[in-house]
Chain A
Amino acid sequence: MRWIGNNTDLILGYLASHVWLSIVPTVLGFLLALPIGWWANRVPAVRGVVLSVGNVLYTIPSLAFILILPGVIGTGFLDPLNIVIALTVYAVAVMARFASDGFASVSPAVLDSARASGFGAAGLALRVELPLAGPVLLAGLRVVSVSTVSLVSVGALAGVDNLGRLFTEGVFTGNTAEILTGIVLVVALALVLDLLLVIAGRALLPWSAGARRVRGGVA
């Protein structure tokens, strides 16, 4: 406990950078995956490619990926950008599959009727398909957000400041309090972000919460 009291600035600094390193790849990955998933849902061949590329990417060990990136894109060795890019790629790999499934879950009869009512192509995609894919997109976003928070820690091994540093330093110096602090904060951060997503989902998708309640009530 005394260790925490003496190092609050250090811990808060790591926490702040961990938050940013988690949120930026999650949001970027989500935004990039939407058009890819939408396209994949339209064209079966694209869907095949998206799924297999996603699988292959996910088998690359994250540490190796983070260490190789500077050589590939010319960033500095300790640049946080390496982590952001690597984790964004992972986020896209996971999220594109969810997005494709989400768009596939939209009822063809509803789309047909919306088209017959006079929705143009853009209106259909943004105001009908996107919100109706919402529940599956949210499920994907929750998976990506939790896994990104935990993957950020790996960046500590590549010398980037974040809560993962508390494990690496704690192990190095035999400081159990430091290790425990790191673990608790990473788990807490993952839970808080997940909770925020659930709350945002309730607010943005009120119709789907209602649908779940009704189905649950009947069953």
Chain B
Amino acid sequence: MIEYRSVGKTFSGGNAAVADFDLVIPSHTTTVFVGSSGCGKTTLLRMVNRMVEPTSGQVLIDDVDVASRNPVELRRSIGYVMQASGLLPHRSVLDNVGTVLRLQGVSRAETRRRSLELMETVGLDTALADRYPHQLSGGQQQRVGVARALVTDPNILLMDEPFGAVDPIVRDELQAELLRLQRELGKTIVFVTHDIDEAFLLGDQVVILAKGGQRAQVGTPADILAAPANDFVRSFVGLDKGGRELHVEERDGVQVVVDAQGRATGVLKG
């Protein structure tokens, strides 16, 4: 469990990115921070592995304040995936995947074995093992990023717009892959995106953020769609212009569900 307790962050220069933020992130589920650019998503995410230190309040992992943990050890125990994959350009794919194992002093042979295993887990051809990152496609680089984050089997996985820089088709693929992985692995995932559809697809708990890290609404996708907290949320999730409204049309006794553009999307059962 990750817990934010009245967390605030004011950057030098007096810019208050986040103020008085509270949240509980249950273990073994995916929580998505979603909001427009500059609302404080990355700032909140990076407080978990002490890449950002809060200026007030506390972040706790399993009831232990992260401020009391050694930052380097803490980071090695948490997987982190970022938008631009952040792979080391001077190391092969296999070495990139095994980076944290080597930092933890795991032997070369064992690191190699586990890295190859992880490449398979995330759907990467092991023939790519000896390439350098710049010799991979964007989608493959993101898979390497995910493999690197998972190689130590961490309990927590932080993902900062990991699929933001790939084309929509690869993005769909990577999202499906993440859902499959999460069904198998049951990690505590904190995921950042500005795409509400991605948030609803991946999130067990969705946190909609307004400027300054304000919680606009927290809940399951169904909760939020059923009862948007205010106009900001209604507009952010696309309920205001009827974009998410579905209706039913009868065809020969079958109830067909049709979306706002008039496209048939399925049939109603029960």
Contacts and interface: CB of A to CB of B under 8 A. Distances in A.
B82 A210 contact: no
Nearest to A109: B84
Contacts of A205: 90
B23 to A, nearest CB: 21
Nearest to A113: B86
A117 B84 contact: no
B72 A110 contact: no
Contact of B89 (A112, A116, A117, A132): A132
Contact of A113 (B72, B80, B103, B132): B80
A114 interface: yes
Nearest to B46: A116
B151 to A, nearest CB: 10
Contact of A114 (B73, B85, B88, B135): B88
A114 B85 CA distance: 11
A117 B75 contact: yes
Contact of B99 (A117, A120, A132): A117
Contacts of A128: 88
Majority-rule SS of A interface residues:
helix
Given A205-B90, A207-B91, A117 B134 contact: no
Contacts of B100: 117-118
A131 B132 CA distance: 14
Nearest to A121: B72
A64 interface: no
Contacts of A119: 72, 103
Given A211-B132, A211-B134, A214-B134, A117 B103 contact: yes
A202 interface: no
Interface string B144-156: 0000100000000
Contacts, number: 65
Nearest to B149: A117
Interface string B60-92: 000000000000110110001010111111110
A207 B131 CA distance: 9
B232 to A, nearest CB: 31
B82 A131 contact: no
Contacts of B132: 207, 210-211
B76 A132 contact: no
B75 A210 contact: no
Interface of B: 46, 49, 51, 72-73, 75-76, 80, 82, 84-91, 99-100, 103, 132, 134-135, 148
Given A112-B86, A118-B75, 20 more contacts: A107-B89, A110-B86, A113-B82, A113-B86, A113-B87, A115-B51, A116-B46, A116-B51, A117-B76, A118-B72, A118-B100, A123-B103, A128-B88, A132-B90, A134-B90, A207-B89, A207-B90, A210-B132, A210-B135, A214-B135
9 contacts: A109-B84, A113-B86, A113-B87, A114-B86, A115-B75, A119-B103, A208-B90, A210-B134, A214-B135
